[in-house]
Each structure stands twice: as structure tokens, then as C-alpha cells.
Structure 1
């Protein structure tokens, strides 16, 4: 089930940007072409179209040899060579050999893998614990994963037992004890579809009546009928009327809504804290959100107050108390007051995680702390 998010910008964990400040010094050619944001203390590096990993000290723990490398999740990362997927740990050991036609990140201790166009699951030791027999599957959440055979969807537990029969036209992952399912029904000679919600026992707790539906987050879910969107609670009560042209999931108690081509925010009671007036808007993170007006990025708080008037060309959501910002070909960081704590001086930079971030100045990559101090030269 696809989320109905479409316009609000969502920043990828791998967002890296380019251009920079001269320090007046001449540096050697950079060792890497690209360094991602750190995740679980590891960052993806790229050189000559091959990918590997460094740790937070800048040490290369996995040599760049993979065609693709993904972020670490639950201590393991998915890698690929010539269409074959596997998993490495933080020492570089291939705990699951590169033999799968497809794969997904680990979640709740299991990862989906593909074998001869069928899907199953492996554990963190690389053992195949659920045999590949499904045509489609999702990740495990709330202890269950959706699966399909042919055009019917249901759910399995971590032992591979089909705890909810494969009978739905579509299914989504469980969140907060609820999952969206799509039910087919006849309207004359025409097949039609409606979205409802089931609990973990398979009981239909919110009747199928919506044209569109999203997963629950912070006790609310977006639902849509006739291209108008609102919100329901976990009992199925419509707590926000279906009146918006677009709506997005709640974060930090706030949700983006759209009327026409303008974005604003509501709280969980449905109150419009920020009337739709911005050209684009970002999800709240650490109590703040980016808003865009005439191509420029600013910052608002949960009361709608502009902490920083729109002035940057680009920005990333707050992480670890800082947000990455861009103006022209320069990149730096601001704090939650909107103060530019690290000046626009980097050719490339990424978000902070646990107090560190990778940045590039001219031809050198560095790992810096939140004061801008260089902790390692890469």
C-alpha cells in the first residue's frame, strides 16, 4: 500500500550536497567521491562507483567493492554485486552471502529475501527461517508481515505461520495494532475496492468504506474519499473531516494538510495551527519544521511562529539539534533558534548523528563535531 504522501518533501538518509569554501590551503585529491550521513555509527562511502563503509572515526571497515550499499539497520546492512544481494555486519563480514535476487532491510530481527522470484525471510545469522514461497511481502512490524500469493494478501508471524488468511486484495504493514486492508466487492457487474483496518487477530475493526487509507501514526490515520482527506482515530471515529486536498501523517503532534496548492498544519484535534499558506512544508522533527515560500526555506515552531524567515535555498529536517542548510553553493548548519552555528562553508555535508557529521572542504573529507571541530581527516 503506497503512502499518500506526495508533495511534502521527505529527505532521504543518503542526502548529500555539493559545493564549498576555500580555506586557502591546497589539499590532496579526496579519497572518496561521496560519504553519506552516519547511521548506527557507520557511513556509506563511494569511490569509482563502488561502495563500502567507514566507522565514526573515519576508519574504512568495509572496502568499496559493492555496486550498491545501504544504511545499517539493526546492526546489518544490505549490499549488492551484479544483481545479487546479501548482508554485512559492522566488521565487513558477509553474514548472508550475496545470492539473493532481492532483499530488504532488517526489521524486528528478520529481513525479506528473494529466491527465484519468490520471497522469504532470513534471520540475523543469515539463516533462511521462512521459506521463499510468496509473490510479495512487507517488512515485519508489530510481529507480523503481510504476504501475498497470486492476488491475495494476508499476514504471517515470525515463524512463518499464516495467522491471517490470504484473502485481501491488498494489505499494508501493521502500525499501532492496526493495518490497512483492501476489500473487493461487487457493484452490479463492476468490481470495486474499499479500504478498512484489521487488528492483529484479523478482526475488521474499522469497516471498509474509504477509497484510500494510510497507516496509523501517533494515534491518527489519513483516510480519503472522492479525493478529499481527513483523519480517523483507532476506533474509526473521523476526528478531522475529509475536507483537504492532501493530508500527511502526524509527527510531533502535527500534520501537514493542503488546500489547493498551499500547505499548512493541524494538531490532533483538527485545529488549523498554521493555515495553508506555504508553497511546501516539511514534517516536524524535534519540535520544528521547514516551510517553503517562493523557493526559500524557513523554520516554524509548533505554534506556527516563524523562528527563521524563509531565506535558504535548501534545507534538511532537524537532527541532533541541528539542521543542514544551503545557500548558493555553500552549506552549513543552524540550531533550533535559527542561528547559523556552523557557517556556510562546506562543499558537501550531511546531517548530524550522535554529535558527528561528514563534510567536505575542497578536496578533503572530514568528520566534525557540533562545534565544527575536525575529529578526523578522511
Structure 2
């Protein structure tokens, strides 16, 4: 899982000039040359009527009847009637879904840009992500989480975190793992002058829900994988050595272990379901953890058939059939479903 440490998913002012107008909607920019230079305004594409006069330095974003506009080097928000919703006081803007993040004096705050209300104070050094109604923010290099109403879910104390995924928030906590041995330093008289534990640093996964309650706290060597259905997740345990496979277990949103650890099974999240790799063969789990195809098959392909709507499931004797995205058998190209 890749940690997004920049606001790459936002259209924000330093990288765009007309990002909003690459999208399909009813408005377009127009320019006017003035004694103060080129100014930008907005017209309605259907009616041709002027919506905003060409008196602004730039228009960066359009969301839900709101324009994010720069004037005299500062950014604010105006509606389609020309009413100022958020005054021109800010240095940068990042917009995602139903929230805007505005920067002032090198600090960020979250805004409900439709109402023009600040949901938090200007306290964050960075806004790292906003997914499923949860913002991932940072203060002094430490990450935390805030909901869409500005309520702090987790304080900024984590060195590694990831964007909210459905009901889950994943962070990693740094720990020191001891080997059980000490490095002892003695003086010339044999007296102990220093003891140092021998070990190494590691990180343990912690999964929270949106309310900040711990769903799962991992142990040394574990890593977490989320699934498309956003209702279960996979925990991968560490390998004892590189000659042995990692082990996996499947956990639901309440923290209940649906399938316990086993070195015999490997789970791999896919777009439509979870693949099972077992000694007996390949199979499929639904995102609720229920078995859709028992792990008794030689292989299960990606969706590359019938305009990428079907996958091929092969038996060990090389015969096969096709399944749809719900893992249901579908007769296709003369191949019937098995009994």
C-alpha cells in the first residue's frame, strides 16, 4: 500500500489554471485584457450570459454551484450569483468531494465550502488526503484524522498512516522488538557500566473505525491489506524465513476473525472478490468472507473474456467454464456450466 504524502488527488492552485473546465458542466471561462493585465470571468455555456465578470486573476475549481477564485493573489469562493461565500483571504486551496481545505499563513483548515463555514481552525501543516468523509492531516510530521464535521478522530501522533478506506483507518506504530539478549559493556575491573538491549525496530498495524475505536491491533511483522468491498480486510503475517510462505487471516469490520491464520491459505484482494490460493487449488471468497468457489481449481483468470465481463475457471484436467463478476457460472462461446 502506497503512502500518499502529497496532495496529489486534489486539483489545487499551484498546478492548475483551468482544471475545473476540463470537466463537463455548464460554465466556461473568458478573458478580458485590462490595464491591470488579463482578467478572467465566467459565462454560462448554454445561455451565453455572463455569470462572473472578468475581474479575477484566475478561476481554479467549480463544485456544487461554487467557484474557487483568485483575486489580488488571494483565494475565495463565489456562488453562481456572484455572492462571496468565503472571502478572498487564503493562499492555497485543495478541493475534494464535499470539503475544501484552505491555507493561510502556512496552516490549513477544513471548510464546508457550500455554507462558507470553517470546520476546523488553521492548525494543520499538511492535508494528506480526504476519503470517505475523513481527512488525513499532519502537524510537525505526525499524522492524525478528522471527520467531515471537524471532529478529531485520532490526534496527530502517528508516523505512518493511510487514507480512510470505507469504515477503516490504518496506521502503523513504531516499536522496538527485542531478541532477548543484552549487549553489556564493562570497565577494566569487570564492572558493568552499560547494558543495551539487542533488537530491531518494526512497525505494528493498527486498524481503527471511523469513530476512532480500535478494530484490530497487530503484532510484530504483520501487514494489512484492504479489499474493494470495504467490509473485510486481510492480515498478512511475517515469514519465518524466505523459504516459507507468509500466512493470512480474514477479519471483518467488527474485528471478528472470519478465517484464522493458516500457512496453507493465501488471500489476495481482487476487484470483485478475494482470491484464495490453497494447497488444493484456487478459489474465490466474497467480500463478506463467504466462499463463492471452493479452492479446488487449477487457475482462475482475470476478466479478459466477453468484453472483460467474464473470467475463465480451469479444472486440473484442463477443462474450464466461465464466471461473471459475481462468480456465477455463465454459458459462453459454446462452453456450458459444469454440473
The residue aligned with 1:234 is 253
Matched-pair contact (CA < 8 Å) for 1:231–1:242: no
Larger Rg: 2
Matched-pair contact (CA < 8 Å) for 2:3–2:161: no
The residue aligned with 2:200 is 190
List runs of 5+ in structure 2 lacking aligned partners.
Answer: 12-17, 32-38, 179-198, 239-244, 278-282, 312-323, 334-339
Q: Which aligned pairs between 1:134-283 and structure 2 lie closer than 5 A? A: 134-137=124-127, 145-156=135-146, 160=150, 162-188=152-178, 189-209=199-219, 210-214=222-226, 217-221=229-233, 232-236=251-255, 237=257, 242-244=266-268, 247-248=269-270, 254-255=272-273, 267-268=286-287, 269=290, 271=292, 275-277=300-302
The residue aligned with 1:119 is 108
SS of alignment partner, residue 183 of structure 1: strand
- Cα 1:233–1:243 shift into 2, 3 Å: same
Q: CA deviation digits over 1:269-294, x for unaligned, max 9?
A: 354699224579xxxxxxx96689xx
Matched-pair contact (CA < 8 Å) for 1:70–1:78: yes
Tell me the CA shift for residue 149 of structure 1.
Answer: 1.5
Matched-pair contact (CA < 8 Å) for 2:124–2:137: yes
Matched-pair contact (CA < 8 Å) for 1:52–1:69: no
- Greater shift, 114-123 or 214-223, is seen at 214-223
Write the distance in 1 (CA, Å) between the matches of 2:84 and 2:275: 44
The residue aligned with 1:374 is none
List runs of 5+ in structure 1 lacking aligned partners.
Answer: 5-11, 15-31, 281-287, 293-299, 309-378
Q: Which aligned pairs between 1:13-52 and structure 2 lie closer than 5 A? A: 36-38=22-24, 42=25, 45=28
Write the distance in 2 (CA, Å) between the matches of 1:217 and 1:53: 40
Matched-pair contact (CA < 8 Å) for 1:119–1:132: yes
The residue aligned with 2:60 is 69
Matched-pair contact (CA < 8 Å) for 2:129–2:137: no
TM-score scaled by structure 1? 0.48
Q: CA deviation digits over 1:194-252, x for unaligned, max 9?
A: 322113443322113543444874423465566988864213435595443xx35x6xx
Write the distance in 2 (CA, Å) between the matches of 1:215 and 1:78: 35
Q: How many residues align?
A: 254
The residue aligned with 1:133 is 123
Write the distance in 2 (CA, Å) between the matches of 1:52 and 1:271: 56
Write the distance in 2 (CA, Å) between the matches of 1:51 and 1:78: 12
Tell me the CA shift for residue 90 of structure 1.
Answer: 3.7
Q: CA deviation digits over 1:69-97, x for unaligned, max 9?
A: 3452x543545689854434344555334
Write the distance in 2 (CA, Å) between the matches of 1:63 and 1:279: 51
Tell me the CA shift for residue 133 of structure 1.
Answer: 1.4
Write the distance in 1 (CA, Å) between the matches of 2:168 and 2:22: 34
CA RMSD across the alignment = 5.3
